[in-house]
Amino acid sequence: MVNYFLGVTMSKRDWGVLFVLCGAIFLEGIDVAMLNVALPAIRADLGMSTGGLQWVMSAYVLGYGGFMLLGGRAADLFGRRRMFVLWLTVFIAFSGLGGFASEPWMLIAARFVTGVAAAFMTPAGLSIITTSIEEGAKRDKALLIYSGTAAGGFSVGLVIGGLLTTVDWRLVFFAPVALAVVILVAALALVPKADAPERSGNRIDLAGAVSVTAAIVLLVLGVERAAGAPVVQTVATVAAGLLALALFAAIERKVKEPLVRLSILRDGRLLRGNLAAMLFAGAFAAFQFTVVLFLQELRGWSSLQASLAMLVIGIDVILAPTLTAKLVARFGNARVAVGGLAAAALGYAAFLPVAPDWTYAAMLPSFLLIGLAFSLAYGPLTIAATEGVPEADQGLAGGLFYTAFQFGTALGLAVATTANVALGGSSMLDGLRGALVVPVAMAVLAAVIAVPGARSRREAVAVA
């Protein structure tokens, strides 16, 4: 078993496919990260209010999270390569339009459509890997490289965004376009066309698609806006989302060709992987949000300085396909994921004693532990969310996974913001310390959810 990864060889075709799809997930990561850094410059240039500025991010989140399940199923029904290429083209067009925006509404609209494009493109890309590379050691290796590239794109994007913003914030939109064009050309040449679905009819469950998209949009909107909206409005939005979700479940039980086979949710491995991924994403979003406030507003660091400080978290780009690969071969996905989630909890907890005079050396252990956590948790959770799923449902499995990730991000940000506002009355530091409890709690809960899988031999031990 020690040679589980070391002895794995991948064909040129496999490497070509992986190159394209790693480029796409890297693109999605840097696109979001660069925009985070550019927000202050955008507000100054377009004269946006704080509420309007939040909608630049919220529009993308709503498009991405709301349409992810539909995007995953569309890949299964209409062809993964076709959906990937089509929506990558849409991504290119509207990312570029965002760079030409002269009014806030133009930018917000462009970000929403870009999010929708990512919602179709991302699960299609993941399902191309899981259907074109055979399950087992070879696919696990590919997914670990893929997940490391995804997280690395976000880390690198923070720094690139800071550099580009110092020149012109519009470059933050134009740079992804240039990269996306290269990926599109490579996709047309390297991704095989033989991924056409075997199903006949290829009909979308329209009622299911409308109800689940409405449910996810309402739930994400309610959670994300919770900190700044009246309680009654938040409760009403979330209640409407839950009602739409119940309607969706009722539709899926009766429709002949459901958008989501509800039986897929009975797979304990998949369910635990998605719940743990949701909490893992939420914990990191809450931590990053709080640390950026600490570094920039309390310590007075520039956005570029803050980005460089957290760059070390990107060590997962190196560790995921090397260290994690060996650990998965020895101990299995579930046990490695639990170790990563525990490392995340320790990393977040190490930041709890934060003080105004903290040096970078005091912060570094937290950043290193979180980078290690991403290395150990992200890839194995991705594998757990797709392993054992029939090929015809791989797009759906990818959609579920990324929906969980996106919803978790919105949840983590909302809870951390609420804690910061509620506890920050006496001092900014008290609010930040209160918000830092959120990622610790979410990471611990994620580890607890993942533990049963680590105890199961079927899930914990990789089969060579």
Residue 5 belongs to some domain of the structure: no
Higher pLDDT, residue 204 or 60: 60
Closest CA to 443 of 303, 347, 363, 364: 347
pLDDT tens profile 279-296: 999 999 889 888 888 887
Residue where a domain stops, chosen among 258, 290, 325: 258
Beta carbons within 8 Å of 332's beta carbon, 6+ residues apart: 454, 459, 460, 461, 462
Higher pLDDT, residue 180 or 153: 180
Domain shared by 193 and 212, yes or no: no
Domain shared by 146 and 217, yes or no: no
Higher pLDDT, residue 141 or 462: 141
Token pair for 145? 């490289």
pTM for the model stands at 0.81
What pLDDT, on the 0 to 100 scale, is given for residue 437? 95
What pLDDT, on the 0 to 100 scale, is given for residue 7? 53
What pLDDT, on the 0 to 100 scale, is given for residue 202? 57
Is the pLDDT assigned to residue 3 strictly greater than 70? no
Domain shared by 366 and 297, yes or no: yes
Mean pLDDT within 147-158: 80
Q: How far is CA 327 from the centre of its chain?
A: 23
Beta carbons within 8 Å of 282's beta carbon, 6+ residues apart: 408, 409, 410, 411, 412, 413, 415, 439, 442
Residue 266: pLDDT band with limits 50, 70, 90? confident
Residue 326 belongs to some domain of the structure: yes
Is the pLDDT assigned to residue 381 strictly greater than 50? yes
**Residue pair 110/97 in contact by the 8 Å Cβ criterion:** yes
| Distance (Å, whole) CA 228 – CA 418 | 8
What pLDDT, on the 0 to 100 scale, is given for residue 5? 46
pLDDT tens profile 109-129: 999 999 999 999 998 998 898
Mean pLDDT within 424-442: 89
Residue 393 belongs to some domain of the structure: yes
Residue 449 belongs to some domain of the structure: yes
Residue where a domain stops, chosen among 161, 181, 203: 203
Residue 113 belongs to some domain of the structure: yes
Higher pLDDT, residue 388 or 308: 308
CB atoms closer than 10 angstroms to residue 203: 10
Domain shared by 127 and 222, yes or no: no
Distinct helix (H) and strand (E) counts, the chain: 17, 0
Is the pLDDT assigned to residue 254 strictly greater than 90? no
Higher pLDDT, residue 156 or 235: 235
Label residue 289 left, alpha or beta by phi (over 0 means left) and psi (-120 to 50 means alpha). Answer: alpha
pLDDT tens profile 392-419: 778 888 888 888 888 888 788 888 888 8
Residue 104 belongs to some domain of the structure: yes
Write the CA distances from 109 to 60, 92, 94, integer angstroms. Answer: 9, 14, 9
Is the pLDDT assigned to residue 189 strictly greater than 80? yes
Torsion of CA 207, 257, 134, 449, to 10 degrees: 60
Domain shared by 242 and 177, yes or no: no
Domain shared by 374 and 456, yes or no: yes
Domain shared by 150 and 34, yes or no: yes
What pLDDT, on the 0 to 100 scale, is given for residue 370? 93
Residue 64: pLDDT band with limits 50, 70, 90? confident
Residue 100, domain extent: 10-203
Mean pLDDT within 84-93: 95
What pLDDT, on the 0 to 100 scale, is given for residue 112? 92
Is the pLDDT assigned to residue 135 strictly greater than 60? yes
Mean pLDDT within 364-380: 92
Closest CA to 316 of 375, 267, 400: 375
Average pLDDT of the chain to the nearest whole number:
84
Q: Among 52-66, 87-101, 237-251, 431-445, which stretch is predicted with the lowest mean pLDDT?
A: 52-66
Domain shared by 33 and 129, yes or no: yes
Residue 4 belongs to some domain of the structure: no
What pLDDT, on the 0 to 100 scale, is given for residue 198? 46
| Distance (Å, whole) CA 9 – CA 11 | 7
Q: What is the CATH number of the domain that holds 374?
A: 1.20.1250.20
Residue 212: pLDDT band with limits 50, 70, 90? confident
Domain shared by 332 and 391, yes or no: yes
Is the pLDDT assigned to residue 275 strictly greater than 80? yes
What pLDDT, on the 0 to 100 scale, is given for residue 2? 37
Place of tokens 């909107």: 221
Q: Among 17-21, 211-215, 425-429, which stretch is predicted with the lowest mean pLDDT?
A: 425-429
Is the pLDDT assigned to residue 276 strictly greater than 90? yes
What pLDDT, on the 0 to 100 scale, is given for residue 177? 92
Mean pLDDT within 85-91: 95
Domain shared by 134 and 176, yes or no: yes
Residue 1 belongs to some domain of the structure: no
Please state the domain count of the chain.
3
Domain shared by 310 and 445, yes or no: yes
Domain shared by 230 and 282, yes or no: no
Is the pLDDT assigned to residue 6 strictly greater than 50? no
DSSP, residue by residue, 351-410:
TTT--TT--HHHHHHHHHHHHHHHHHHHHHHHHHHHTT--GGGHHHHHHHHHHHHHHHHH
What pLDDT, on the 0 to 100 scale, is given for residue 461? 46
